[in-house]
Structure 1
Amino acid sequence: MHERTMTQTSVTVMNGNVNLTCTTPYDEDRIPLVVLYSVVLIVGLPANLATMYLTYLQVRRKNVLGIYLLSLSICDFTYLLTLPTWTIYVNGGHRWPWSSLACQMTGYVFFTNMYISIFLLCCVSIDRYVAVVYAVESRGLRRQRLATLVTLSICVVVGLGHAPVFSMREGNAAIGERRCFEPSQSTATITGFNYARFCLGFFAPLAVLIFTNRAILANVRASTGLRPCQKDKVRLLAVAVVLLFLICFGPYHIILLMRAVTYHFPHLQEDCHFERCVYTPYTISLGLSTINSAINPILYVLSSDNIHKEIRSCVAGFWTRTALRQRSTESSQHKMQNSKNSSDMLPTQDQDKTRTPTPC
């Protein structure tokens, strides 16, 4: 039986008059997170690999949206590669078995790719919005070069924004009980960082997703050239995009906002409220954010008509090659059988000697 892991964490209240020791339940999230990470890995890795191939074909065909979808798939795939280390970490009672640099690198890749993915989701929605609402006006604006520049800019800005990860003491896993990026006592810097992540990394992207998908839906409803089933498909995709974003990223960023607000009320820290009531929901909400990486290929890529054509083409090509190989095998076997039958019909030397000549 896995021993319940508890730790005593020293928390100093802002007024400096209270030095409180709190108990953090590090073992409560073990089973939910291990199961969640395992399922996300099993589904997400092959889905993103297939998506990278299909979207690469679209990029070669000069599809602008393919740039964002390919970048999103690469980002999600890289993001998922960190999950085995987090699974080992959580299953081991939140003790990091490797070096501090490995902890910092894993945390950097995890959080950087999370927010790159969020901003790429916005790019996908904005590109669809421009293509649908401004179909004629956007013909000269939607270029692969521009999409590539936007994607690279997002990667650079988010990467630089998370550079402080390498200097945060939460990433120093070589001391104490070898924790890796566990939430510690809030400071002014961490509080400001949490406010920025909520506003820029969640609220602003959510507003973009709601605005663009609502405009796409309104434009499609007013269209007379689309069949009802096509309109229903667009409506379901628009609703699913917003709901998935809220479910995956909403709980985590709301808890970040709560922690930032709590910093201004020191008396809330005196009763170990975060450790007793919020820590486990916090870690599970962070785990929920990984679901987005597994569902993105299904939600965005498989809903694309161009991708559907690529899939049908690949499947048709596969079955055609299989049928040709089967026919070739059957033809070879048929020829061998005919050759054998022919050889059986030819008389041997002994048969020639005993055969009775037939009259002419």
Structure 2
Amino acid sequence: MLPSWLSPLILTAYIIIFLTGLPANLLALRAFVGRVRQPQPAPVHILLLSLTLADLLLLLLLPFKIIEAAYNFYWYLPDIVCALTGFGFYSSIYCSTWLLAGISVERYLGVAFPVQYKLSRRPVYGIIAALVAWIMSFGHCSIVIIVQYLNSTQPVRSVNDTTCYENFTQDQLSLVLPVRLELCLVLFFIPMAVTVFCYWRFVRIMLSQPHVGAQRRRRAVGLAIVTLLNFLVCFGPYNVSHLVGFHMKQSPSWRAIAVVFSSLNASLDPVLFYFSSAAVRRTFGKGLQVLRRQGSSLLGRRGKETAEVTNADKGVSQTDGAPSSDFTTD
């Protein structure tokens, strides 16, 4: 078990992630649903919508992790809640890795082969890629349900003090550790390698094109940096814990901290959405305007409404003269 002083820190981190990630992802969901409902939506918007849904699944299950942290990682809820929470929580994490890889492939193809990409892109490609990501993640994480039948909640000090996927028996470890290693290789390292290659090529092409404006270049670099941080900061520690656990033949003591970093992905993804889509920038801009108006009303001030629309609301870059969500170089 973790030291008692660490539980409040993890609890605070979970609460902050929930309070920041939920409204941001709901705004992004509204924006992407509007884009997908348009005729012939781009595959990248279907992937971004799927990534938003994966984040929302994690955030909706986060209150159970908050309850667990509040009780110093003792599990007092029914065993089936432990299994379902772990199944959905970890599936959403690994679904995100392959969705991020799919988005990186879309971005690379859009700038490397702009004409061919526009002529051949079909919404069905995005649907197929999203379904593959969801099936792979949920299929692999079904191990959580399997371990449930091997008694995933283990006694700690008494019958009333149990943990959820923290203290494993040797029979459980013989099944869990190899599967975690396979999860790390297939659902983390492979999509990360694909993502790094695609964004490396993507940024090089964007920076080498003389007719690409400075604002679009900054967005391209920002998109690559945020995605790389997602893999290294959010998913990296958790998957390294799989490697360490397989080597040590037991779960590392700091694994719960690594899970917190994985949850941070739900708060970091909206930043990626902001760089990726003009629809999200418009939605976020309108949301900020509403908050400013409400703040002015609470303070008793009557703000003066601006007559002109901002660049974010237009979704058009003044320097580029092109839709701000468009990364093609043609």
Q: What's the TM-score once normalised by structure 2's chain length?
A: 0.78
Q: Do structure 1's residue 300 and structure 2's residue 273 form an aligned pair?
A: yes
> What is the CA distance between 1:245 and its match in structure 2?
1.7
> What is the CA distance between 1:310 and its match in structure 2?
5.5
- For 1:315 and 1:40, how far apart are their aligned partners in 2? 19
1:282-301 mapped onto 2 (5 Å cutoff): 282-301=255-274
For the 8 Å contact 2:154–2:162, the answer to whether it is kept is yes
For the 8 Å contact 1:26–1:94, the answer to whether it is kept is no
- CA separation of 1:314 and 1:45: change in aligned 2, threshold 3 A: closer
Partner of 1:53: 30
Partner of 2:104: 125
- For 2:154 and 2:240, how far apart are their aligned partners in 1? 30
For the 8 Å contact 2:95–2:137, the answer to whether it is kept is yes
> What is the CA distance between 1:100 and its match in structure 2?
0.8
Q: Do structure 1's residue 29 and structure 2's residue 9 form an aligned pair?
A: no
Q: Do structure 1's residue 195 and structure 2's residue 187 form an aligned pair?
A: no
- For 1:32 and 1:315, how far apart are their aligned partners in 2? 29
- For 2:76 and 2:142, how far apart are their aligned partners in 1? 23
Q: Which amino acid aligns with 2:236?
A: G
> What is the CA distance between 1:250 and its match in structure 2?
0.9
- For 1:34 and 1:316, how far apart are their aligned partners in 2? 31
For the 8 Å contact 1:69–1:301, the answer to whether it is kept is no
Indicate the SS of the match to 2:153: coil
CA radius of gyration, larger in: 1
- CA separation of 1:174 and 1:55: change in aligned 2, threshold 3 A: same
Partner of 2:314: none
Indicate the SS of the match to 1:136: helix
Partner of 2:18: 41
> What is the CA distance between 1:131 and its match in structure 2?
1.1
Q: Do structure 1's residue 237 and structure 2's residue 223 form an aligned pair?
A: yes
> What is the CA distance between 1:303 and its match in structure 2?
4.2
Q: Do structure 1's residue 179 and structure 2's residue 191 form an aligned pair?
A: no
- CA separation of 1:229 and 1:155: change in aligned 2, threshold 3 A: closer
May I ask how many residue pairs the two structures share in their alignment?
A: 283
RMSD: 2.6
Q: Which amino acid aligns with 1:283?
A: A
1:270-349 mapped onto 2 (5 Å cutoff): 278-279=252-253, 281-309=254-282
- For 1:311 and 1:282, how far apart are their aligned partners in 2? 34
* Percentage identity across paired residues of the two chains: 23
- CA separation of 1:300 and 1:137: change in aligned 2, threshold 3 A: same
Question: Any stretches of 5+ residues in structure 2 without a counterpart?
Answer: 293-330
Indicate the SS of the match to 1:225: coil
Q: Do structure 1's residue 167 and structure 2's residue 153 form an aligned pair?
A: no
